[in-house]
A and B are shown apart, each in its own frame.
Chain A
């Protein structure tokens, strides 16, 4: 396998962005620009499907590895995928074209710049998920801030400047400590190559501080309580496509980072800090669910529900049970699909009524039935109804949690009930009830592109809900080997 398929995945969107950049769009060729973006992202999607087909599920070794000298005697450009990362790459390449299609209805000015930002963002996100060197990972992880800052700031809502700054500075503040940790790892172990670090391990006396440094970055990005406050702001002000990228993919970087780096590199520290993660996760689940109940803004409600869902994810990861970690990964994928769809759903009604307040709506079920059906599906998926992908993830996580810590699992299960409460209540207030607001009668049902996007998201949500085997088969070996390695390192280091 000589074809550098991962580098192509990373580079392709950037090349597409270059094409758009030199097209110098105006109002006339907006369509051309969009087709270029769409074409690039679809090629990338099919390339990643091809990657999945070629992927060997029976081993946890990194595959499609590319290793090139980047900075002499210091850093290699090293990328590769295993069962864990490949799913996130697929998610990224799947969500991006949908974002680009959704741009139709929402972005009115500076379309080509917006598409450039999204494509470059895609490059960086794929880079995050396949880099096998800490410095390369950091580079992609941080670089993503630039396009996202611009997406929120230029195309966002009324308080966009505040939100963009908050987003940028919060994440930057979290990440700089990770940079210190990465450089320290280089001096402690002599390499930043993740695969090598897995083998030689890191001296346990340094692990606690290093773990905390990585944690500070991932906790902000996840986001975990109490550093989650940037997320509702960023979501509310970002344009729909921006919210979708943020919720579906950006948040997953941190979950992925926890699995790949916190567990993989610092098993001793992970063991010590597990109670902390449990505590923060449970608070996130319960506390933010209550906050979500009280929201009047639909986007904000979904944003808080994201925090709660990511609480499940971190909980699952640190159970260190096969089911827990698998559940977390599936939950992340499922949340990627469902939250993307929910934000798009909010975007649909927002485009028509220019209001995100729940109180504006009510009784729209008879006016826009197609929308109501799809919205219903995603609401149920978000609360984890059996038959949707949300159920598989949550169920596995709770199973893992019950094995590890009964009390935590019980409290977390309450979160499921709360989740059902705020999602169903949201749905009831928006879709059912009496039609009071007469303006709503003018609403038109989903147009073709909206229907296409939402169905694209509905199909995998249902499919993986009934038949999660393709996902589980992909991650199974990698996860079990990760846990074996974790336990091995733990024993040898204590």
Chain B
């Protein structure tokens, strides 16, 4: 039982959630307190994860259903930090909309718990459990501003489509269980019989379910509506945190049990990747709502991350992990800007509201400029390097078509990022926005901008950190 300390972060997090629930019930007006405690809990969990598991190469627990390795530790820490930042910068927003309630941080914590379980899962059942735990919390979060019709609609849409995808996923799991006799990833790997077409069906169903969760084309339809309808603070959470867990599951699911069937799933992944990159780039052009635009842009970015996974090499996995890390950083900066677009207690989220921002708020626009060029993948900003590593690993496998389509869609995508820059810098100014932002919001914007800007000075560091991820032995 001494190995229990390896899952101590999860245990700590679940106990804290229960404690917070009780606290919320018995103490009145405790939303601020609970928010602060949750933030501390997230940080403590991150520290515990770092201390307990970062040095471990690979340990399996509970009959091999939970795996603790470097990938899981790294992704958990990123998840926790992203959740921390997403929570901390949204408090002003929540207060404005009068949804600063005790449930909000607790729901975020539970979904983070679900993600941590997903990240560590080495078994279909455990993975499904974690997935459902996070999804249930996310459904409620999407409808959190329940007086707004849009928010309720978003939650309902998300729930129905997500339930459908969970169903498909479960069906895939049962197929695989039926033909291999186990739910454990490693045992499945040993039991594989590549002539069994049913297994391919199982893989396809699970991939479809996962593609839903990660909003890859053609299973992306929910994303724009949900992102637009949910409160901005929730959208911020959606675009960042669940993607990390879903990507980790993608990696583990494809590379542990089914690496030998790479011919079967590689084409699917290439298709998902190309379709997401192209669709994300083209569909974003016509958008007028910033949150919708971000939704399409995140679809495109997921396409690049999947391109790394399609390679079937450790390099590819590492480049995807780097991509998602840098993507989260850029998204954090972008949403910090979005949360700053406030005037007289009203938040603005249309593209036109950015008009002439550079005259009134030079520093804010400069940050946005850097973030947007980075999202477009223009050197020397961090976003370029993210794409660069992806294409490096893609070209190593001589997948020229994927690389060329990917790069051409960056050109298309550059168009709508440029359009935003045009509106910010070239158009006539409107009224000023408020400047009384919380310190954390300013911090997250400044920090992410500076990191994006100076990433090119220390590009090796992130690679070194990630280079310990070796899923393929």
Contact = CB atoms under 8 A, between A and B. Distances in A.
B392 A186 contact: yes
A180 B391 contact: yes
B422 A183 contact: no
A154 B425 contact: yes
A149 B408 CA distance: 19
Nearest to B467: A72
Nearest to A179: B407
Interface string A37-80: 00000000000000000000000000000000111100000000
Given A71-B459, A165-B418, A183-B395, A143 B380 contact: yes
Given A72-B460, A161-B422, A168-B414, A180 B404 contact: yes
A169 B378 contact: no
A161 B408 CA distance: 22
B396 interface: yes
A313 to B, nearest CB: 26
B218 interface: no
Interface in A394-448: none
Contacts of B391: 179-180, 183
A168 B418 contact: yes
Given A153-B426, A165-B422, A176 B407 contact: yes
Interface of A: 69-72, 135, 138-140, 142-143, 145-146, 149-150, 153-154, 160-161, 164-165, 168-169, 172-173, 176-177, 179-180, 183-184, 186-187
Given A139-B456, A179-B391, A160 B426 contact: yes
Given A172-B414, A177-B407, A183-B392, A72 B378 contact: no
Contacts of B459: 70-71
Contacts of B425: 150, 153-154
B327 interface: no
B411 interface: yes
B373 A164 contact: no
Interface in B403-426: 403-404, 407-408, 410-411, 414-415, 418, 421-422, 425-426
Contact of B422 (A140, A153, A179): A153
Contacts of A150: 425
B178 interface: no
A180 B407 CA distance: 8
B181 interface: no
B464 interface: yes
B411 A177 contact: no
A177 B418 contact: no
Contacts of A169: 411, 414-415, 418
Nearest to A127: B380
Interface string B76-119: 00000000000000000000000000000000000000000000
B440 interface: no
A150 B464 CA distance: 35
Interface of B: 373, 378-380, 384, 388, 391-392, 395-396, 400, 403-404, 407-408, 410-411, 414-415, 418, 421-422, 425-426, 456, 459-460, 463-464
B460 A70 contact: yes
25 contacts: A69-B460, A70-B459, A71-B459, A72-B464, A135-B388, A140-B379, A142-B379, A142-B384, A143-B379, A146-B373, A150-B425, A161-B426, A164-B418, A165-B418, A168-B414, A168-B418, A169-B415, A172-B378, A176-B408, A179-B388, A179-B407, A183-B388, A183-B391, A183-B403, A187-B395
Contacts of B392: 183, 186
A145 B408 CA distance: 17
Nearest to A153: B426
A269 B373 CA distance: 34
- The residue among A153, A154, A179 with the most chain B CB atoms within 10 A of its own CB is A179
A138 B425 CA distance: 26
Nearest to A170: B411
A135 B392 CA distance: 12
Contact of B460 (A71, A172, A180): A71
Contact of B378 (A142, A164, A186, A187): A142
Given A139-B380, A153-B426, A177-B407, 13 more contacts: A71-B460, A72-B464, A165-B422, A169-B418, A176-B407, A176-B408, A176-B410, A176-B411, A179-B388, A180-B407, A183-B392, A184-B395, A187-B395
Contacts of B421: 149, 153
A169 to B, nearest CB: 6
A377 B189 CA distance: 79
Contacts of B378: 142-143, 145-146, 172
B379 A172 contact: no
Nearest to A171: B411
A61 B396 CA distance: 32
Contacts of A149: 418, 421
- The residue among A135, A143, A145, A176 with the most chain B CB atoms within 10 A of its own CB is A176
A146 B384 CA distance: 13
A131 B407 CA distance: 23
Nearest to B385: A71
A176 B379 CA distance: 12
Contacts of A142: 378-379, 384
A186 B415 CA distance: 29
Contacts of B411: 169, 172-173, 176
Contacts of B379: 138-140, 142-143
A183 B390 CA distance: 11
B354 to A, nearest CB: 15
